[in-house]
A and B are shown apart, each in its own frame.
Chain A
Amino acid sequence: MSMTQLEKNIEAIKEMSGSDPYKCMRCGKCTASCPAYSEMDIKPHQFASYIIRGDFEELIESKAAWKCLSCFACIERCPRDVQPGKLVDATRQMVARSRGGDYLQPEEVPALLAEDLPQQLLVSAFRRYRR
């Protein structure tokens, strides 16, 4: 089956994320479950539609990907196996891979450090925020 350019781009996201945005039925269970809802400018259930429409620029510009807590609640509860959290991770990857736009710069870190900050936090933040 031949594909449009958009479909090919989406196919690449599917590969990278392991999630199929076309399966989404817009039930919003992810958005209902999301603990970071108030912080996200693009809501979890919208990630699938942004990708299907090809609005990658808007996704990349949004701060939603950096506000996701990676708590996996949406992944656990998604009835369609879309697992929106994976699309959020894919967006982070798109940012890192396409333009090297990391959300966290090493120079910022000393100011953010607290005495009792666990290593786990720093490592996770670096992984989530940077390439």
Chain B
Amino acid sequence: MKYSYYPGCTLKNKAQDLDKYARSSAVALGFELVEIPEWQCCGGVYPLGSDEIATKLSSVRALNYAKEQGQDLITLCSACHHVLKRVNDDMKNVEDIRTRANNYCEFDEPYSGETKVLHFLEVLRDVIGFDELAKKVVNPLEGRKIGAYYGCLTLRPGKILDFDDPENPKIMEDFIRALGAEPVIYSMRNECCGGYTALKDPDFTKQRTAQIFDDSTGFGADCLITACPLCMYNLNKSDASSKVPVYYFTELLAEALGVKEGA
């Protein structure tokens, strides 16, 4: 199985771990991530004004490329996942945006949201299946109590992203179970870490992440996993991270599949 792969700028730089472990795990699980050539940054943020178009074009190009390859489009970064899915929804359902974007891009054939955008976790859940994944695990993470930290961008708005129940998700918990570990469910797992305000208000993000650590460790988590480079950054800025490490979910996946070393 081949997928078009949109890594995004952060995965090429500060979040290389998220990327490389995903690639090695994909090989172990028998599917291929084909990085799309000349991808451009998604912008990190879905455009603020519903009448904006220029800021959506980079996503549209990536989506259209995948369509031309006849492949689903995979992302790992929560921000890219968020932006690509929302832009794709616009292209599918908002006539005005679709027309203007197509007029600008002049593809051979107009793009109207045909590509299916999948988060890497969705591939594990919906294509491979967590039961199958569990069978491929060679180093089960037994005895570990792992808290999934979802953050905001993967889940909301739930109707458009259609990733999981935005208030009580379970995809990462099922993932943790498949790796042989015990998921820790805590209510801060879908609350914001403070996001991009870390740039100007780092103290505020520290308050937020402290609450996340308090809640998750209160329920017994010994480490956290995330799919978002920004959450990772903010969580790691917290003092608590020295005792409760934070991993990209792909790192634990690679570890369980026994492909971490070679990655």
A–B in direct contact per CB < 8 Å: yes
The interface residues of chain B lying within 8 Å CB-to-CB of A121 are: 196, 198-199, 230, 233
A18 and B44 in contact, given A70-B195, A72-B156, A118-B230 (Cβ under 8 angstroms) = no
B49, B152, B167, B230 interface centre (most CB from chain A within 10 Å): B49
A16, A120, A127 interface centre (most CB from chain B within 10 Å): A120
Q: Is A92 an interface residue (CB 8 A)?
A: yes
B195 touches A118 (CB 8 A): no
The interface residues of chain A lying within 8 Å CB-to-CB of B156 are: 71-73, 75-76
Least distance between B198 CB and chain A CB atoms (Å):
6
Chain A interface size band reads 35 or more
B13, B44, B191 interface centre (most CB from chain A within 10 Å): B44
The interface residues of chain B lying within 8 Å CB-to-CB of A125 are: 196-197, 199-200
Q: Is A67 an interface residue (CB 8 A)?
A: yes
The interface residues of chain A lying within 8 Å CB-to-CB of B232 are: 118
Residue in B closest to A17 when the chains form the complex, CB atoms: B50
- Complex-state Cα separation, A93 to B199, whole angstroms: 20
B200 touches A35 (CB 8 A): no
Least distance between B100 CB and chain A CB atoms (Å):
14
Least distance between A109 CB and chain B CB atoms (Å):
8
A89 touches B48 (CB 8 A): yes
A118 touches B10 (CB 8 A): yes
Q: Is A4 an interface residue (CB 8 A)?
A: no
Which residue from B14, B191, B200 sits with its C-beta under 8 Å from A117? Answer: B14
A69 and B194 in contact, given A118-B229, A120-B77, A123-B44 (Cβ under 8 angstroms) = yes
A127 and B152 in contact, given A73-B192, A118-B232 (Cβ under 8 angstroms) = no
Q: Is B201 an interface residue (CB 8 A)?
A: yes
B192 touches A69 (CB 8 A): yes
Which residue from B43, B208, B230 sits with its C-beta under 8 Å from A35? Answer: B208
A92 touches B48 (CB 8 A): yes
- Complex-state Cα separation, A121 to B191, whole angstroms: 18
- Complex-state Cα separation, A11 to B233, whole angstroms: 40
Q: Is B204 an interface residue (CB 8 A)?
A: yes
Which residue from B152, B200, B204 sits with its C-beta under 8 Å from A73? Answer: B152
The interface residues of chain B lying within 8 Å CB-to-CB of A72 are: 152, 156-157
Contact with A along B2-35 (1 / 0, CB 8 A): 0000001110011100000000000000000000
Which residue from A15, A66, A70, A123 sits with its C-beta under 8 Å from B50? Answer: A15
Contact with B along A64-108 (1 / 0, CB 8 A): 001101111101100000000010011011000000000010000
Q: Is B45 an interface residue (CB 8 A)?
A: yes
B41-68 interface with A by 8 A CB criterion: 41, 43-45, 48-51, 55
The interface residues of chain B lying within 8 Å CB-to-CB of A70 are: 45, 152, 195-196
Contacts beyond the supplied A69-B194, A120-B229: 4 A-B pairs with Cβ under 8 Å: A118-B13, A118-B233, A122-B199, A127-B43
Which A residues are within 8 Å of any B CB, using their own CB? 15-18, 35-36, 39, 66-67, 69-73, 75-76, 86, 89-90, 92-93, 104, 112, 116-125, 127-129
